[in-house]
Amino acid sequence: MKFNKKNILKVIVALLVIIQFFTIDKTTTPVDTTKDFISVTQPPAKVAEIIKTSCYDCHSNQTNYPWYTNVAPVSWWVGHHIEEGKEHLNFSKWADYSDKKADHKLEEFYEEVEEGEMPLESYTIVHGEAKLSQEDKELLISWVKSLRE
């Protein structure tokens, strides 16, 4: 087969079609609301809204998978972020954490927000509503710190 632009394009298109068959696992684990962070900690309504909007897609079993998670290789990248996010902190399993682990997770939580590391910029580009204003950050950080007192 001669490798000209037309043949290279055909190979690329074929590969893009083939990789669509390798999907990410979007199985949702049932959520026991009695173990959920918001149910356990009872934050003020504004704080709960911020956490749900800016954190829960990647850090809970309540992930909302948007349309682009059906398109490889973007889906693989997003799936990896979600998997990694739940590995570090899963708000749906909050009551399963020991007191020591929960305290450490709270410390990491406010530090990541304080340093501007969370939510990820790549997430807020597509989900503008998840971007935290300075006021949101201050409210969230203050409340999370108060849980550690």
Its domain, for residue 141, covers 25-147
**pLDDT the model gives residue 17:** 84
Give the model confidence (pLDDT) of 40-65 as tens digits.
999 999 999 999 999 999 999 999 99
Counting the structural domains of the chain, the total is: 1
In this structure, is residue 16 part of a structural domain? Answer: no
Q: Are 68 and 74 in contact (CB under 8 A)?
A: yes
Q: What b-and-e string marks burial along 86-109, b requiring 16 or more CB atoms within 10 Å of the CB?
A: beebbbbbbeebeeeebeebbeeb
3-state secondary structure (DSSP) of residue 18: helix
Contact criterion met (CB below 8 Å) for 94 and 36: yes
- Residues (pLDDT < 50) of the chain are none
User: Does 72 fall in a domain?
Assistant: yes
What type of residue sits at position 33?
T
* pLDDT recorded at residue 18: 87
In a domain, 138, yes or no: yes
pLDDT of residue 10: 86
Asked if residue 119 is part of any domain, the answer here is yes
Say what the pTM is: 0.86
Cβ neighbourhood burial of 25 (10 Å; 0-12, 13-18, 19+): exposed
Please tell me the distance from the alpha carbon of residue 124 to that of residue 137, in angstroms, as a whole number: 14
Is 13 a member of any domain?
no
Residue 4 is predicted with a pLDDT of 83
CA distance 45 to 52: 10
In a domain, 54, yes or no: yes
Residue 62 in domain: yes
Is 5 a member of any domain?
A: no
